[in-house]
Amino acid sequence: MIVSGVSLYIAVRNLRPAEVWQAFRQAHYVWILPAVTLYLFALAARTARWKALLSSERRIAWRDLLPTMAMGRGANNIYPFRTGEIVRVLLLRRRNDVPAAAGLASILVERVFDGLTMILLLLLAGLIGGIPAARQVDLQALLGLAAVIFGAALAFVYAMVLWPQPIQRLAEWFIDRLIPHRFRPRVRGTTERFIHGFSSVKSAWTLTLVMLFSIIVWSAETISYRLLMNAFGFDINLHQLLLMSGAANLGTALPSGPGNIGTFDAPAILILTGIGIPENTAISYQTLLHAVLWSTETFAGLWFMWRTGLKKRDLDQAKG
């Protein structure tokens, strides 16, 4: 909540309510529909990517995975610190009988490839048109930090994939020395299943699919951001759009309140103002964008909860 609060302060510290309200009054809300449609397509592509990642553990039909994906992402908008990912793992175990360790491994791989795709967007933006001087230091620092974090995560994933036995032995060495004796069998079993969860990445075809779907997911979401800009009548070029999308979504890697409040908004507003969009127009746009994305994910999750007979108390129990 502190991270979200600081991010929100950075995003709206120069807020002028009258100008923001005027921007909302003049907006063309017809652009919400195509933006939502494209965002739902991205949700479908996320599900297809997850299906590919889980294929070595269990073959699950796309239509059976979609409700779990939607409910997990909707839970991210209810609970802080991306707890919806844990809810998704536990719903996967409950609905599809996939071990929690394997589900968690698949989600970790997703996050790594999401981060690497964002870095790719920022690098592509830099190659196409450079980085605005007003935000050059901020973006270079963000890109450097993200490259280190996600590069280390990618190395960890490949270590788990290429050398599972040495990693297992190393884990057992730590377990024998750090874990109380009565908990060791359960921790060993969980660790072994977690390492096994990375086995699907051994397939070159699976890795190719994960990369392809990651690019499809974030291309669709980025285009949906661009469509919603039409509601406020401002236009930006491709490299500016890539900068905004890459920075905003890298910000969501930070721990935050429900729905990535603040951490998604501050980077986007800083980029938009850095390329010449009036600050209060940028705030209005980002507020609408976040509201549309939040509502789309949350109501999709609620709809699937209703279809599957799941209650909020079930999510609370899964979270617990």
Residue bearing tokens 């999401």: 114
Give CA 310 to chain center in angstroms. 24
**Tokens coding 30:** 């017809």
Q: Cα(227)–Cα(5) distance, rounded to whole angstroms?
A: 28
Cα–Cα separations (whole angstroms), residue 91 to 77, 81, 193, 248, 296: 16, 18, 17, 28, 20
Q: CA 80 to CA 32: how far, in whole Å?
A: 26
For residue 31, give the DSSP letter: G
Q: What is the pTM of this model?
A: 0.81
Domain extent at residue 309: 2-319
Q: Mind listing the pLDDT tens digit of every residue in the chain (320 residues)?
A: 787 777 778 777 777 888 888 889 999 999 999 999 999 999 999 999 999 888 877 889 999 999 999 999 998 888 877 788 888 988 998 888 888 878 888 888 888 888 888 888 877 877 776 666 555 556 667 667 777 777 787 777 777 777 778 888 888 888 888 888 888 888 887 787 777 766 656 666 777 788 899 999 999 999 999 999 999 998 888 888 998 998 888 888 777 888 888 888 888 998 898 888 988 899 999 999 999 999 999 999 999 988 887 776 666 665 55
Please say whether the beta carbons of 201 and 161 come within 8 A.
Answer: yes
| Residue 189 CB neighbours (<10 A) | 12
Tracing tokens 């003049």 back to the chain, one arrives at 26
Q: pLDDT value at position 81?
A: 73
Number of domains in the chain: 1
What pLDDT score does 153 carry? 75
Q: Are 278 and 255 in contact (CB under 8 A)?
A: no
